[in-house]
Amino acid sequence: MLSKSGSVAKLLRANQLRQTPIRQRVLALFLEHREALSQHFLEQKINEADRITLYRTLRTFEEKGLLHRAIDGTDKIKFALCGELCSPEQHQHFHAHFHCDSCGRTLCLENVEAPAAPILPDLSVSSMHLVIRGKCELCGKKKA
């Protein structure tokens, strides 16, 4: 994850992207929420933009290495802010995400150590993802 101090404008400039209102709003939402967001979520937050623009914005950010796809076991694509280790050429090769089956939120887990790569003869590994599912702290409280 990027430091909170990184302003939206800076982030765009650093990635050679134009300062458009929609891109700024999208990035601001990612910085604000600090979790993996779906296009659906962004559409609801940004009424001005139509879904095609959002669709392309997300993929542009992905190409530039600003966002990565968060694997959470659902069939809905979600994106999350990349850390410094990601770049257009090479994304960080280990990610861990927590998905709440109750509210559907997907959180990036920062401090999870990569498990030792299993021995897989004949398979070449380029990345690993740990998907953890359960109940988040908010949904856990509701029940209690």
Partner DNA sequence: TAAATAAATGCAACATTGTTTCATTTGTTT
Partner DNA sequence: AAACAAATGAAACAATGTTGCATTTATTTA
Which residues contribute to the site for a second copy (CB under 8 A)? Answer: 69, 71, 73, 75-77, 96, 98, 101, 109, 111-113, 115, 117-118, 120-137, 140
Q: Evaluate the CA torsion angle 18, 21, 34, 70 in order and state its sign.
A: negative
Nearer to a second copy, 23 or 91 (CB): 91
22 near DNA (CB under 7 A): yes
Rounded to the nearest 10°, the torsion over CA 54, 22, 7, 108 is: -20
Query: Helix 51-64 vs helix 21-33: angle between axes, to the nearest 10 degrees?
Result: 70
Among 27-35, 47-55, 80-88, 108-116, the segment contacting DNA (CB under 7 A): 47-55
CB of 142 to DNA, least distance (A): 24
Nearer to a second copy, 33 or 135 (CB): 135
Burial class (CB in 10 A: 0-12, 13-18, 19+), 75: exposed
Binding site for DNA (CB under 7 A): 12, 17-23, 39-40, 48-53, 55-57, 60, 75-77
